[in-house]
Amino acid sequence: MNLATTAMPLANRDSAPASSSAKHPPISLVLAKRIGLLVVTLTLVTAATRAQAPAGPINPQPGVAVQKAPTNIKVRTLLVNTPVTVRNEKGEMVDDLEKTDFHITDNGVPQIITHFNLGGDPISLVVVVETSSRIGPILPQIRKSGILISQTVMGPTGEGAIVGFNNHVDVLLNFTDSADDMDKAMSGLKAGDPGARLYDAMSKAVEMLSARPEVSATDLGKRRVMLVIAEAHDTGSEDTLGEVLRRAQLANITIYSVGISGARADLTRKSEPEPAPSPTPDGIIGMPGPPGTVQTPTNAENVQGGGNLLALAVWAVQHVKDKVTAHQLDIAAVGTGGTYVSTWKNRSIENAIDEIGGELHSQYTISYTPHGDLTEGYHEIKITVDRKHLNVRARPGYYIEPPQ
């Protein structure tokens, strides 16, 4: 059949015989009926649903537990990286230990080591250097240290940045893997005003390092290291040492510090006001001693002389709003697993930096994800090895703040 000869034009369909329309109603009429039927059906369903729904709040049935709306559940995960320095009785670095020789606990709970390395992980380094006019006579020595820092501390696979501070905090060089750039930035250091916002500069370094990829069991990141070259003196900072240390510990940042000799800095230092009177009697300190001990004149002398720096580091992290007025650089290093090297007597800045670089590339890096009760507050880290007569040094712990 030829469809072209039998098809009826649309214009003539309405004028078809009545007998044809009776057998086959117009499409428009069929659609109208179907739509009407659908509207009636929806109306009846809606009315039935409204009749079944209660007019007010649902009263709980006796003996039936009320279902509560689900709430957002936050699961805390934390990666802990800690450098571990192991020395023998002669003070020499021990570099023949295996992963199975180490045991680590977090608040007394044994942990599983997920990453283990000896000196091989690359480093992300921020150098925090004082540029105050107070240390003007020493600045020429500091300017010469750039190439040594890049070679012995940063290393051939690392990256470095520089933050300078006086009464201002300035990023003098962003992260680079160029030894020439590090040397150029250090050699161009200029003395500024006599201010010393040490803690704010360290805080800036923590911020910069926290954004760098770090080593984990699955990611090839870098160890986060801060090298401070400064006097143990702060004026005008908004941050406190405890705040900086708390953030540095959570970000797995190790702080090393080179203490500038105060003898030469005294040449340009202005006279400072007398220290405020102690709020406690002579022989009694305002900060706690080791747990379980009573404060005595002997203990106070030990703390003031740096004999109890570990306890002071823990105290500073737990009491972030309080000020630490002595041994600031020692405490920062001890609290993060690093070390403080003074440039007193015959030890030069170059020798101090070389010593720090040697330790960094000869220490173990251990990582773990804490399991157990990850509660707020201070978490104590303890690391032991299966060998006698060894001195094991690592950071003491970290602090978890309550959720805001």
Convert the pLDDT of each residue in 301-335 to its tens digit.
333 333 488 888 888 888 888 888 788 999 999 99
In this predicted structure, the answer to whether residue 13 has a pLDDT above a threshold of 60 is no
Dump pLDDT digits (tens) for 23-41. 455 555 545 556 555 555 5
Enumerate the β-bridge partners of residue 176: 160
Per-residue pLDDT, averaged over 132-158, amounts to 93
pLDDT of residue 43: 55
Q: Characterize the bridge pairing of strands 253-259 and 223-230.
A: parallel
Per-residue pLDDT, averaged over 197-204, amounts to 97
CA 167/CA 192 separation, integer angstroms? 8
E-only strand ranges, 152-192: 159-165, 169-176
In this predicted structure, the answer to whether residue 20 has a pLDDT above a threshold of 50 is no
Domains and CATH numbers, the chain: 122-265+288-364 (3.40.50.410)
Helix (H) or strand (E) holding 341: strand 340-342
Tokens 């405890």 correspond to 242
In this predicted structure, the answer to whether residue 69 has a pLDDT above a threshold of 90 is no
> Band of the pLDDT at 66, cuts 50, 70, 90?
very low
CA 130/CA 141 separation, integer angstroms? 12
Stronger pLDDT, 183 or 344, i.e. the higher one:
183
In this predicted structure, the answer to whether residue 11 has a pLDDT above a threshold of 50 is no
Stronger pLDDT, 256 or 278, i.e. the higher one:
256
Averaged pLDDT score across all residues of the chain: 78
pLDDT of residue 182: 97
Helix (H) or strand (E) holding 116: strand 115-118
Q: Which amino acid is at 363?
A: Q
Range in 29-38, 100-109, 190-199, 268-277 the model is least confident about = 268-277
Per-residue pLDDT, averaged over 135-157, amounts to 94
Dump pLDDT digits (tens) for 382-400. 999 999 999 999 999 999 9
In this predicted structure, the answer to whether residue 166 has a pLDDT above a threshold of 70 is yes
Stronger pLDDT, 74 or 222, i.e. the higher one:
222
| Stated pTM of the model | 0.72
Best CA proximity match to 119, nearest among 95, 92, 89 = 95
> Band of the pLDDT at 371, cuts 50, 70, 90?
confident
CA 319/CA 396 separation, integer angstroms? 16
* CA count, 13 A, side-chain hemisphere, 257: 25
